[in-house]
Amino acid sequence: MVRIGIIGGSGVYNQDTFEVTGRVYPGTDYGRPSDEIVIGKLAGVEVAFIPRHGSDHRFPPSSVPYRANIQALKDLGVEIIISPCAVGSLKEEYRPGDLVIVDQFIDMTKKRDYTFFNDRTVHISIADPFCKDLAQLFSKVAEEMGIRYHKNGTYVCIEGPRFSTKAESNMFRNFADIIGMTVVPECQLAREMGMCYCSLATVTDYDVWKDEPVDIQMVLKTMSECLSKITKLLETGLPRITETRKCDCADAPKDAGV
């Protein structure tokens, strides 16, 4: 059984320091996950890793098998999910290269599978969707490492795979700090399963509101430059995760009557 899961791009761990101990590709009630789940040790901590879009990047944001990913991790015993991701900035002070420890989201997606409970009505409380304990832990690590970071940030999640129009980007600026395509429904599915979820978002661009059109090459270039920082953040932070969870993330299903 593995307690910590990581969902992200394959570059978020150092191939030289990540000790692979196994690979599984389980079936779930929702199909198979995005790809094989790689199990191994990062900084001496056992983790289960899923490449969100598949190792060959075949799943666009709308088609990621989010429910299968979360269910597969849950079946492995995962209680804690760390999710490194790339985002655009909607505010001047959230600069490319900055780390944002997300604390809220706004859902602007349209056609995803949002819940495990399609056969009954279950109302999960998600006023604070991200684990506060994990956010505090990684904020402290970022501070110690001298990483430029933002302790809070509201993430507006759009459907994708296209980027925003200028009109959309300027509208979103009134409500959110960063913009991306994957935190929903991943975060809320984790809450339905009583799992802790932490989003470590790297700002790669200023979306399009600054009149500089964003393209995938810009995103990949900035993310590539920041990967070593995210890797070090994980290697430093993972060993500090306590054996006993003191947050209330695990209580969400019980409080909803699940």
Active site residues: 205, 207
Is the dihedral angle over the CA atoms 6, 7, 12, 14 positive or is it negative? positive
Q: Where are the alpha helices (DSSP H) in 31-113?
A: 66-75
Angle value at C-alpha 109, between 105 and 113, nearest 5 degrees: 100
Question: Strands (DSSP E) along 118-160, which ranges?
Answer: 149-150, 154-158
DSSP strand pairing (4-8 vs 80-89): parallel
Q: Which of 178, 210, 190, 51 is nearest to 108 (CA)?
A: 178
Nearest-angstrom CA–CA distance, 226 and 99: 9
Exposed, middle or buried by CB within 10 Å (0-12, 13-18, 19+), for 156?
buried
31: left (phi over 0), alpha (psi -120 to 50) or beta: left
Whether the Cβ atoms of residue 184 and residue 112 lie closer than 8 Å to each other: yes
For the record, the structure tokens of 190 come out as 């984790």
Nearest-angstrom CA–CA distance, 188 and 114: 8
